[in-house]
Amino acid sequence: MTYEQVQSLKPEAFKRFCGVGPTTFDEMVSVLQQQKRKKRKPGRPPKLSLEDQVLLALQYWREYRTYFHIAQSWNINESTAFRSVRYVEDTLIRSGRFSLPGKKALLQPDSVLEVVVVDVTESPVERPKKNNDK
């Protein structure tokens, strides 16, 4: 599904599909556009627009699909999908607007940590024996 098809969705549906809201998506695209203006690369222009590249990266991060499957759904090569995701990820992290705090920030005394405990012990399941005539 290309950006032209996704942009017509309501904000709630857009967030369900992409994992981020339309305003965050637009911020991501603007960061990529600023980077593209700074750095002009020679050669063939990319097949996907910046919006589609962000959408492709969000699909990869959200759904954990392989590059092969994403490439097939976007009708591009697997290496092109990899390069697009890598480019979007590196550019957004370098901008500083979309990076997560590091370990040192989490160790600060004023940071609030939420702990969730989940019981994952195994319990045996009673099943009838195969040769039982009951």
The pLDDT of residue 99: 73
Residue 134 has pLDDT above 60, yes or no: no
Q: For the segment 87-117, what is each residue's pLDDT rounded down to a tens digit?
A: 999 999 888 887 767 777 767 777 676 778 8
Token pair, residue 129, equals: 């024996």
Q: For the segment 29-64, what is each residue's pLDDT rounded down to a tens digit?
A: 999 988 887 777 788 888 889 999 999 999 999 888
pLDDT above 90 covers a percentage of the chain that reads 31
Q: What mean pLDDT, rounded, does the chain reach?
A: 84
- Closest by Cα among 63, 76, 55, 74 to 7: 55
Contacts 24+ apart (CB under 8 A), 77-81: 80/46, 80/47, 80/48, 81/56
